[in-house]
Amino acid sequence: MSSRSPGNGSGNGRTGRPRSAAADAAILGATRAALVELGWSKLTLGDVAARAGVAKTTLYRRWAGKNELVVDAVAVLFDELELRDRGSLRADIEDVVLQFAALLDRPETRTSLMAVIAEATNDDALRARIRTTIVDRQKRLVLVGRERAWERGELPREADPEAAARSADLIFDVVAGAVVHRALVSGEPVDAEWAGILASVLLGGLGA
């Protein structure tokens, strides 16, 4: 999977010295650590800067505020997900579901994600940033999986591009929603058996 620089595409239009990937990684890691230890309300950019060993001005050159910083800190974790070719659409789905569950089981992911979702309930701009920086980026997994299934002959190609886009959105919502609810709301295990059941339900719908 190709990597991307954290915070890219934020649209803040800032210029200056070239970004340091090492500094970005240190800042985003410090942000997640601070969230786990302090929670959203007590997290400050000053604390993050101290943990990362950078000047506070370095953070402000990269991020406009805490909301942008925390969302980007979460987004890079989800960029670790990949749709590996396991030989069939069913196996591909089961594999990425288990990867997703393992990611959510990490305290830094769980705490960071729950924090930004809670804050976004009353913040339209934050909700939009979550959508563009996390959700839209991860829809690539659906597109890769569907294209692979088309090439294998496991699914019929959709002639209508708009219908194909809508179905891709729905597939993502079903998988992501089910895993997040199971892991973070219900607190039930997301194991191989459950991943297989989810794959069966999803494939039944796709076949129809």
Residue 17 has pLDDT above 90, yes or no: no
| pLDDT average, residue stretch 189-204 | 94
CATH numbers and ranges of domains, the chain:
1-72 (1.10.357.10), 80-207 (1.10.357.10)
- Residue 59 backbone phi and psi in degrees, to 5: -65, -45
How far, in Å, CA of 152 to CA of 19, rounded? 41
Contacts of residue 111, Cβ cutoff 8 Å, sequence gap at least 6: 32, 35, 36, 39
- Where on the phi/psi map is residue 6: left (φ > 0), alpha (ψ -120 to 50), or beta? beta
Alpha-carbon distance 183 to 81, whole Å? Answer: 16
pLDDT at 58 over 60: yes
- pLDDT of 96 strictly over 70: yes
| Share in percent of the chain as helix, strand, coil (round to 5) | 70, 0, 30
pLDDT for 130-177, tens place per residue? 999 999 999 999 999 999 999 999 988 888 888 888 888 999 999 999
